[in-house]
Structure 1
């Protein structure tokens, strides 16, 4: 009889360990009910362990199973606390701890590391300090796992003095404690101290290497980040992603794409974080070929279900910015779930690719579906009005943005309005609009208006705008050349000569013309003359 019980329990344990999806776990759960195994506490224990720890996104199912147990043992309590601490709602682990205490149970040394992890995720140092008090009271502070969790919590969000005390008195022989201190200082932005500790580490694990590589990358210090990356004895996907993402954020898209080639040659499979960063680079550099390859890679990675919404949005944005708007719309129509970023990608993409009417149609469709627009939506809408010459619509949407949706305009909104009014020839209105802006106009705003003056040959207003440009200390050659071209367009050659002399007097030199040839697309030539 005992042998039969042991075999049944062992079989369920192995089956649950192999379970990878919630649907398969539900099937196992159904089998245990049909065969009358659910009265056995060990059966529920294995089901809870699988849903709380092993299967991503199944924590809600673990709660349902947990509620069926009248008197859960400490193992089940700890499993639930652990699962909750790693879930999107780590505060539930604290709630479970309170229930555990109120039920008359005494926590053990396995309970607290996950509670401290939850406090770190929640940035709740006061709650973490209360748990520290309970740990001391119960005599668990000497346990290595508890001590490391305390060091990590205090170093990252709590009291650095306490973290240093625990580290210097008990943790200097433990690589996990070293890494926790390095991560704590790096997270607080104290990179010099983090680097000193990192250099002192008797043994460096992959976590410590990745912490430093990521910290420098997030701080924009890409030379240092890349130097450490090259020095690291091993590199996992976190290492590659940190440097690739860092280059993308710094605008070094070519370097990001080159590093991806190196990652591919090293045999490291990109994950979703890598793909998101690379799609951003493809969008910014117009690398359509690589963007399509990344799209095909994702389709192979998710063959049976649709792409996660973030990845779907990134692909739509990439196709839009690379000029392949038909493909972007095709993917948009196929997406099972849409959020505001999905709508923004196609509305802005259509506007920038010259499909103004279609862009505004989709905006109206979005409003009909009760999707709340944001500031990015209105950038696309106003850009569409500008490119489509729909001045009245643009004025209407600019007012709608502020009065109905309470979105305060920022520089891009103002820039779109000035461009729209300037293109349509409403130069005086555009100038008055700039003078009445709620924020100080930047160089781009004035240069946009100066370009409109050139387009319509308005010398008088062009002179006024040029003075405004000079007043914001913009002495770029393009500003002088624009005004010179305005004079030339109406045949005032004396004005042209005056601007050339003024450039010499101010020490402004016109940049030489340049031509760039895209190496991947030899038919594509971009000139700057």
Structure 2
């Protein structure tokens, strides 16, 4: 498949097409033609760019380049550029080293691509070495090279060096200003970042977004909103930053309200916007707002649901209690990944639909998607809710033996909960004793709850002892043990636990509830 990018040459999106073009060049005698090779390398390099780039295409592009006897500087720069923008920027640094070994002299186009790769990888030493070579070859006067160096040092290198580069720059260069502001903001020095922002002679949209993002990422959402309101012009990034900042702070209603304002001024939302809003609805448990957001997603995507948004919608519907809609959305996701399967399997499990959850896990096993540790938390939870002890044990061993996943505390907690719900309290204690990891309070609280249900006072005392050893100020643990005694009519034991609470200064939190009002 060949795809035309606006304003660029043709890019290849699948390895078969790339091989076909390469083969035709060889058959027709163009394999040594510099002009044709340049176009081929450029098409291959473009295919490496972005999150949708396929590993097979990238691998073949690199193999193909390696077969060119004497690539010129343009070809080297082109393949380094593609590698630096790919999912594996390490290749860009490797190619730069090969270029040096083959005595091909880099130019002012080479260094920005290599430095961008070093920035992505946070390779400070390598980037600093490249900086040294830039100085030796005299390219530091080039504006693009200098600004890329500034970005590198501001983001992951030395801020003092970044500041010196900035001081040597043209004070009208907004790219340099924005890079230094972002550097200080990323390191948490918002006061210096704001001072630089206020001193900027000319601010463009990028510089406004850099400062708004700085405030939002560091939790200062009020400052971010104030600056957002003051901005002379905004784009979708501006809106997304503040909406996302509200969601991160748990101010989900404010996020939904700002989205309404965004639509009101005619700004078109993108996938980032909608992802933040779906998360907001999930956190609120607001099904009505979630359905409206879902409708908007289908409108702007023309019915083509991305994997990322599909997964978020499945999670949102599950959290809002509409598991049937969650399943319908799940089947609409064309390219299901492990997160897609995990979300629906866990959603079904925690809503009590154990058979459907385990049925989907069986379906997952028939696909090319490999289960991970999160998958088995959902599977074991389904077995626990259904009381399927034998099946749960089978899946626990399957996880370790077939998929080589070592159980973590969440897996062990599910097994303990499963055994406790089935009344196998001694087995639950034996399992805890065999665990290679330290059981946490959730595991012991699960046992304590099971002891209450099944009326086992002695084991409840042992579980409570472990809980108090971990943290003795949780009133719920005392109350639960007291209730175990009370359920068996052992009122003296219940009274002793209450007295122990008083002696240790533990007070029971007053019960409360809330009702969300809609205006």
TM-score (norm 2): 0.79
2:134 maps to what in 1? 135
Q: Residues 431 and 281 of structure 1: is their aligned pair in 2 closer, same or farther, counting only changes over 3 Å?
A: farther
Deviations along 1:450-507, one digit per CA (max 9) or x if unpaired, are 2222212222322332232222224233223222322332223334444444444444
Comparing 40-49 with 201-210, greater Cα deviation is found at: 40-49
2:148 maps to what in 1? 149
Are the equivalent residues in 2 in contact too, given 1:359–1:381 (CA < 8 A)? yes
1:525 maps to what in 2? none
Are the equivalent residues in 1 in contact too, given 2:306–2:333 (CA < 8 A)? no
Q: Residues 171 and 155 of structure 1: is their aligned pair in 2 closer, same or farther, counting only changes over 3 Å?
A: farther
Q: Residues 252 and 449 of structure 1: is their aligned pair in 2 closer, same or farther, counting only changes over 3 Å?
A: farther
Cα distance in 2 for residues equivalent to 1:284 and 1:326: 19
Cα distance in 1 for residues equivalent to 2:419 and 2:64: 63
The number of aligned residues is 497
Unmatched 5+ stretches in structure 2: none
Q: Residues 172 and 355 of structure 1: is their aligned pair in 2 closer, same or farther, counting only changes over 3 Å?
A: same
2:185 maps to what in 1? 186
Are the equivalent residues in 1 in contact too, given 2:12–2:46 (CA < 8 A)? no
Counterpart among 311, 314, 322 of residue 312 in structure 2: 314
Cα distance in 2 for residues equivalent to 1:143 and 1:466: 69
1:118 maps to what in 2? 117
Deviations along 1:294-351, one digit per CA (max 9) or x if unpaired, are 22222223337x4222222222222222222222223333433222112111211111
Are the equivalent residues in 2 in contact too, given 1:213–1:239 (CA < 8 A)? yes
2:356 maps to what in 1? 358
2:420 maps to what in 1? 422
Are the equivalent residues in 1 in contact too, given 2:348–2:354 (CA < 8 A)? yes
Q: Residues 480 and 235 of structure 1: is their aligned pair in 2 closer, same or farther, counting only changes over 3 Å?
A: farther
| Structure 1 residue matching 2:168: 3-state secondary structure | helix
1:258-269 equivalent positions in 2, closer than 5 A:
258-269=257-268
Are the equivalent residues in 2 in contact too, given 1:171–1:178 (CA < 8 A)? no
Cα distance in 2 for residues equivalent to 1:119 and 1:85: 9
Cα distance in 2 for residues equivalent to 1:239 and 1:406: 44
Are the equivalent residues in 2 in contact too, given 1:16–1:46 (CA < 8 A)? no
Matched, 1:241 2:240: yes
- Alpha-carbon shift at residue 449 of structure 1 (Å): 2.0
Matched, 1:326 2:328: no
| Structure 1 residue matching 2:513: 3-state secondary structure | strand
Unmatched 5+ stretches in structure 1: 1-13, 523-529
| Structure 2 residue matching 1:337: 3-state secondary structure | coil
Comparing 473-482 with 123-132, greater Cα deviation is found at: 123-132
TM-score (norm 1): 0.77
Q: Residues 312 and 152 of structure 1: is their aligned pair in 2 closer, same or farther, counting only changes over 3 Å?
A: same
